[in-house]
Amino acid sequence: MQQANTNQQSLPISLTEQRPLVALDFLGGNCPVQAEGTILGKRFYFRARGEHWSIEIHPTAKGEYTDWPSTQIVNGLASGTWYYDEPYGTWPDAGWMPQKDAVECINRAAKMYQDEMNSL
């Protein structure tokens, strides 16, 4: 008779489906480096060019950035979007940003967005 393996650890089981913080659909290019995907299920567009990067998260958009609804534009942004930007190096460093750095920027912005949404 074999003995049971007592070294096994049970893993916690979640009964609720957890959505990933960031789901990346596309990342690539140079001058600008661009990315699209979702953050907490909301569509985002990331762009790095010149000496800064920016990210825009739309509350209701579906599909690619170029297909986002043309809602009322306020200060260059569709009404209701969450926007963040940061400097990156000197001209033209951001346009040649390595993908690893772009992913780090997207993840950092996603965490800020999540924290802001949780505080509402």
Confidence of residue 5 (pLDDT cuts 50, 70, 90): very low
pLDDT at position 105 over 50: yes
92 contact partners, CB below 8 Å, separation of at least 6: 31, 49, 50, 51
Which residue reads 């049971």 in tokens?
4
39 contact partners, CB below 8 Å, separation of at least 6: 21, 22, 57, 106, 109, 110, 113, 114
Is the distance from CB of 40 to CB of 82 less than 8 angstroms? Answer: no
Tell me the range of 11-15, 25-29, 63-67, 80-84 where mean pLDDT is highest: 25-29
Q: Quick one: pLDDT at residue 101?
A: 97
36-93: pLDDT as tens digits:
999 999 999 999 999 999 999 998 888 888 887 765 555 555 567 888 999 999 999 9
d(CA 32, CA 53): 9
Q: Quick one: pLDDT at residue 2?
A: 45
d(CA 113, CA 87): 18
Q: Quick one: pLDDT at residue 14?
A: 45
Beta bridge partner(s), residue 82:
57
Q: Quick one: pLDDT at residue 61?
A: 84
d(CA 65, CA 58): 9
